[in-house]
């Protein structure tokens, strides 16, 4: 199974379209697209509302199940992810999810905590910390692999986790 996750594109429709052309089983945008919620690019994409999104069509969060993995997506600003992952971690445990997808900080990263995978794909437009603009690919079968790619589709980092 393979999903593609992006976030914080801040009005850059061309990049969202480019990433959405890649082959995957599902696509997720973790907010701050700054596009209209009914933009055609979101037709087959899960999306949430970020702190910079004004269209109230965007949901605050999305919960879905793909291939027996329960996925919860938020933007992250309501969970103070720039300070700590504890708030989002506690809610993820309450929801009994397998994957948490979020953005907001513009830093990419993946972490497994108590059997829950947390993934921030970074920002496709305004990365921070000297990082390149990134998106994430999450694949799972016998193991979980999170690969962060730049906008030229070059692998920046790849991390593997055991499936629990």
Q: Which domains does the chain have, with CATH numbers?
A: 2-162 (3.60.21.10)
Instruction: Tell me how far CA of residue 115 lies from CA of 32, 118, 125, in angstroms.
Output: 28, 10, 30
Structural contact between residues 39 and 13, judged by C-beta atoms closer than 8 angstroms: yes
pLDDT tens over the chain, length 164 residues: 999 999 999 999 999 999 999 999 999 999 999 999 999 999 999 999 999 999 999 999 999 999 999 999 999 999 999 999 999 999 999 999 999 999 999 999 999 999 999 999 999 999 999 999 999 999 999 999 999 999 999 999 999 999 87
- Enumerate the β-bridge partners of residue 53: none
Instruction: Report the candidate in 121, 140, 100, 115 with the shortest Cα–Cα distance to residue 2.
Output: 140
- Please give the model's pTM, rounded to 2 decimal places: 0.97
């Amino acid at each position: 199974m393979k999903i593609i996750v992006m976030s914080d594109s801040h009005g850059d429709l061309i990049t969202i379209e480019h990433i959405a052309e890649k082959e995957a089983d599902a696509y997720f945008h973790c907010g701050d697209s700054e596009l209209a919620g009914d933009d055609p690019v979101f037709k087959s994409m899960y999306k949430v509302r970020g702190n910079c999104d004004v269209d109230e069509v965007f949901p605050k969060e999305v919960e879905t199940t793909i291939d027996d993995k329960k996925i919860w997506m938020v933007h992250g600003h309501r969970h103070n992810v720039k300070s700590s992952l504890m708030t989002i971690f506690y809610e993820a445990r309450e929801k009994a999810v397998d994957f948490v997808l979020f953005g907001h900080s513009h830093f990419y990263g993946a972490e497994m905590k108590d059997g829950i995978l947390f993934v921030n794909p970074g920002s496709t437009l305004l990365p921070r910390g000297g990082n390149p603009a990134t998106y994430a690919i999450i694949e799972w079968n016998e193991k979980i692999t999170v690969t962060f790619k730049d906008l030229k589709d070059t692998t920046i980092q790849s991390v593997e986790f055991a499936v629990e």
